Amino acid sequence: MLSSPTIPCDDGIEECAMMQEEEWEVLKSIYPDVCISNDASPSGRMIKLEIPVELSPARSVSIAASPQSHSHATSALTALPPFLLASDLHARLAGMWTHDSQGVLYAWVAFISGAEFLKSGDITIFNSSPLTLLPLLESYNTHAQDACVRLACDHVFCHSCLTDFWGSCIREGDIGRVGCPDPVCVKAGYEAGEEDVARVVEEEEVTRWKWLRAKRALERDPGMVHCPVALCQTAVPSGKEDGESGWARLRTCPRCEFSFCAFCRRTWHGPISECPLRVTESFVTEYMELAEGDVRRSEIERRWGKRNVERLVMKYEEDRMNHEWISRCSVGCPGCGVQVEKSAGCNHMTCIKCKQHFCYLCGEKISRTEPYKHFNIIGKICFEKLFDVGSL
C-alpha cells in the first residue's frame, strides 16, 4: 500500500495541479482497483494506492517470527497483497521522479506490482504470528488466481478484462487478436491456444472460436476445393501427399465421404490416369470446329438437341473470354494461385487469401519484412518499378 504526498513541482501551481490530476485520471482508467484516494489539501496532494505484487513464476514465501527463529511457515505463492512500504523502498520510489518526468505514478505501480524491488530467490517475511499470517496469504493467493489469468506465455492479466476483449474479438470474427495482449507477444503474432481460450471465455464462444479457426485454415489453404456433390459442397482441405505425386489430386469429402479428383472434380480415377475431358466440352469443341452444314454437326444437334448445343457453345465462349480476361488483367498469387487484379497503387501486393507478399509485375514471392528490396535488384523487369509510370 502506497500512501504518499505528491512531489511538488517548480512550475505554476495551477498547471502542476492540472498535470497531477490528469496523471491520476489516466492511472485510474488503467488500474481502477489500485487507485484508492486522491485528496488535495493546502499542504499538497495526498494519494493512496493499494498495489498487489505479482510473482511470476511462483516463488517460495517463508514467514518467521524473527530473524533468529528456526521455524518457518512456507508456501509457494504467485501473488502478495498490498503492504505498507518500508522506508528504504519509499525512498527508492521518490528517487524515480525527476524534474523532467512526464509522470511517475504508472512507473511506481509497474515497479511494485512486477516485484522488481524484491531480490531473486525465496522470500522471507518476519511476523509475530507466522501460522496466522500464512493461511491469509494463501487465501489471498487463491482469490488473486481467480481474478487473474496466467496465459501459456506466462503473462498475467485481469480475467474479466481479458474475457471482455477476447469475447468481443470472437463475436466480431477477428480471431487473430485472440492472444496475449502483451506488446512482446503481439509483435511475435502469438495466438492463444484452446486451453487458454477455454479458461477465459464461455463455452459458446469457444465453439465459435474453433469454427472460425477451422474456417480461416481452409481459406488460407491454397489447395482447398469444394466437394462436387451438388447437395454437399463442403470445403475439402489439401491432401498430405507431395504436390508432384498423382495422389496429391485425391480428395475425400469429410462430410459425405465422396472421393474425387481435385483437378477435374470427377470420381477418383487413380493417380496415373489423366483427367478425362468433360463430355460436354469434348463435343462442343468438336461442334465448333465443324463447318456449317457438316453431317457430323447435324448428328450432334440431333443427339443433344440444337438448343442445348447452342446454349453450351455460348457458355463455352463465355468461359473462354473470362479466362482470357483473367490471364490478361490479373496475376496469380505464387502462394495459393488466386488471381489478383491491381486497380491502383504500387506493385508490392499482399494476397488477401494466404497473405503472401509478391511482385505484381513478375509474379515472384518477395520478403514480408523487406519487400521493397525486390524492386532494387538490377536486371529484373521490375527494377525501379515499384510504381507504374502511368499511375503517377
Give the active site residues.
346
**Whole-number Å distance between alpha carbons of 389 and 382:** 12
- According to DSSP, residue 283 is labeled H
CA angle 377, 381, 382 (to 5 degrees): 60
CA angle 374, 376, 381 (to 5 degrees): 75
At 391, which amino acid appears? S
At 203, which amino acid appears? E
Within 31-114, residue ranges assigned H as helices are 87-94, 105-113
**Whole-number Å distance between alpha carbons of 149 and 193:** 14
How does 328-347 read in b/e, with b if 16+ C-beta sit within 10 Å? eeebebbbbeeebeeeeebb
Residue 197's Cβ-side half-sphere holds a number of Cα atoms within 13 Å equal to 23
Question: At a CB cut-off of 8 Å and minimum separation 6, what does 387 contact?
Answer: 345, 346, 347
**Whole-number Å distance between alpha carbons of 332 and 341:** 9
Output the CA–CA distances (angstroms, integers) from residue 77 to 62, 112, 135, 207, 306, in the order listed: 10, 16, 11, 33, 84
Question: At a CB cut-off of 8 Å and minimum separation 6, what does 165 contact?
Answer: 181
